[in-house]
Amino acid sequence: MMMTDRIDLLLIEDNPGDRHLIEQMLLDVPDSTFHLETANRLGPGIELIQNQPLDLVLLDLSLPDSSGLETLTRVYKEAPNVPIVVLTGFSDSSLGLQAVQAGAQDYLVKGEVNANLLTKAIHYAIERHRAEEALRKREEEYRSLIDDVFDNSTVAVFILDENCNVVWINEATEEYFGLKRDDVVGKDKRVLIREVIRYIFDETAQCVDTLLSDYENNTFTESSFICHVTADPASGRQERWLEHWSQKIRSGRYAGGRIEQYTDITLHKRTEMAEREQRALAEALSDSVIALTSTLDLEEVLDRILENLHYVVPHDTSEIMLIKDNVARMVRTRSHNGQGVTERRLGARFVVAETPNLDYMDRTGEAMVIEDIHRDPNWVHLAGDEWLHACVTAPICFQSETVGFVNLLSETPGCLNEVHAQRLQAFTAYAAIAIQNARLYEHSRELAAVAERQRIARELHDAVSQSLFSASVIAQALPRLWTSNPDKVMAQLQYLDELTQGALTEMRMLLLELRPSALQDVSLSDLLRQLARTLETRKQIRITASVDTLPMLSPEVKVALYRIAQEALNNTSKHSQATQAHVTLRREDNRLVLSVDDNGVGFDIDETAPTSLGMRIMRERAEEIGAVLNIQSNRDAGTTVSVTWSDESI
């Protein structure tokens, strides 16, 4: 429209003053091309709309024969192609906004209007309307093309009219929802949701409530939400995740209705789920590794394996078999189904080479998935199998050796798959290390026990046996000595008593060391004094002990200090050529200081390897309790071994 063209306006306003003011404003516009008709009621205004062409309507919403948005609706119905500018009072700004949302081009507050603002509003409204009409025409021209695009789109589309009736769906909607177009078009979407669609969604409440709430309140989703569509083999519907959003249809045949779109995000969702599952698996494996490696007790390791398997693979019953001499024995079972038959499975034995499933895993190192153990001809049935069906089983392999197997069973057939097998195999790799570490630790303890027994045997041979042999010789010689030299009998009897007392002392110490708990029951002061007496008798070295009154010590600290003193005195007796040694244990504030001094030949510390003369053993024992070991020695100047242990509790 050119600015010189005549502009036909209709003003519907019941207030004479406001009507006159607007007329005057339009007259005051220079070179005005406005032609104004007026009406003081809606009825006469509609008659004018019906009988003559108009370029724009200036409409007061508060009229004697109509008020509010109903006024706009009636005018819009009679003149859908004529732009409308609404006039409101000072207190009706919100009503003006609602009018714009309902289709008006603009609104003006009557008390704030001037000629310039009114002119601009009229021209802008006409131009906007013209642009919208051009756009609407283009939309109609391309409607068939858009329909084709929608119908071939991978986005599912519902088009609803203003009464929520379905007027169109595309092929993607039929595929994703398992619906037929003829069964849907013309139906109320709300009824479809309640009777059909609600059973398609997994999270029924969330999706259904949101959609029905939007229909009820005539609102639209400001942000998308996700619907999980379940699979239905009967209709061919596949499991999908659909992202939903909707928008209002503002014009055209279905104005007031809505377009609903459902974008297929299944691939993204599954990738996200797989990533989340992998992260959860990594966390579960990490937690399991910490749990499995925090103990070296084999029995506890086996228990923790079963405890942590629940976080890696869902199951109802779990089992561990360990192999010895090519025979797999059931050593652990755990059931979550309450059937209480797991104990009856314990101890079951299988020759690996003669049991097909075990033999396969032993040879290949691969896990197995069994959909139903009752249909597997190679399954060896045990008590309680009647409740179980699906199984995933994996070998426990350390390096190239199979040390056992883990079975996970479920009451539901076919619920375990290759993904679960991969998870279980990843878990068994860590379980194998934990089992091997526990076995090595157990073996090292057995070796340590053998070494300790050998040491005690040497002590018995070197000390007790020799003392008893000497006592036996003296006892046999005493009768003859009584006859030949009675004066020496008392001296020999005294020596015989010393030998037997020394042997008794040696035996007491050896008995204490054979029972580690006994070392904990005796005070450290008594242990050190008895140790000094024993070595003094055995080695013919004068050993004295000076021990302060001590607080209650933990068994670990007591045994460690005793063993350090024992090792230091043994080194003194074996290597120092000393004639005297002194053991001191004194309390200094919150510290205990243990020292062993001798007057032996000493040694050059710089020239002596730190692992020699038992130094390594003493340092390790000191480190175990957080103590500090110090060794001082010089050639021909003796040796001092001291250990300092600090604790705020003493």
pLDDT tens column, 626-640 = 999 999 988 888 899
Domain 7-141 top-level CATH class: alpha beta
Domain 538-650 top-level CATH class: alpha beta
Global pTM reads 0.44
Q: Which two tokens stand for residue 93?
A: 């700004």
The topology under which CATH files domain 282-514 is Beta-Lactamase (3.30.450)
Neighbours of 229 (CB within 10 A): 23
Q: Which two tokens stand for residue 559?
A: 């045994």
pLDDT in tens, 498-556: 667 666 666 666 555 555 555 566 788 888 887 787 777 666 788 888 888 777 788 88
- DSSP bridge pairs for 368: 393
pLDDT in tens, 409-420: 999 999 999 989
pLDDT over 80 at 48, yes or no = yes
Output 216-223 pairs: Cβ under 8 A, ≥24 positions apart. Answer: 220/246, 220/247, 220/248, 220/258, 221/245, 221/246
CA distance 215 to 258: 10
The topology under which CATH files domain 147-264 is Beta-Lactamase (3.30.450)
Query: What pLDDT, on a 0 to 100 scale, did the predictor assign at position 1?
Result: 47
Neighbours of 196 (CB within 10 A): 15
Q: Which two tokens stand for residue 162?
A: 């203003």
pLDDT confidence bin for 449, thresholds 50/70/90: low
pLDDT confidence bin for 14, thresholds 50/70/90: very high
pLDDT over 80 at 445, yes or no = no
Each domain of the chain, given as residue ranges in start order, spans: 7-141, 147-264, 282-514, 538-650
Q: Considering only CA atoms, which of 313, 316, 318 is closest in space to residue 302? A: 318
Q: Considering only CA atoms, which of 95, 85, 157 is closest in space to residue 126? A: 85
Domains 147-264 and 538-650 share a fold: no
Q: Which two tokens stand for residue 497?
A: 């008593």
pLDDT in tens, 250-266: 887 788 999 999 999 99
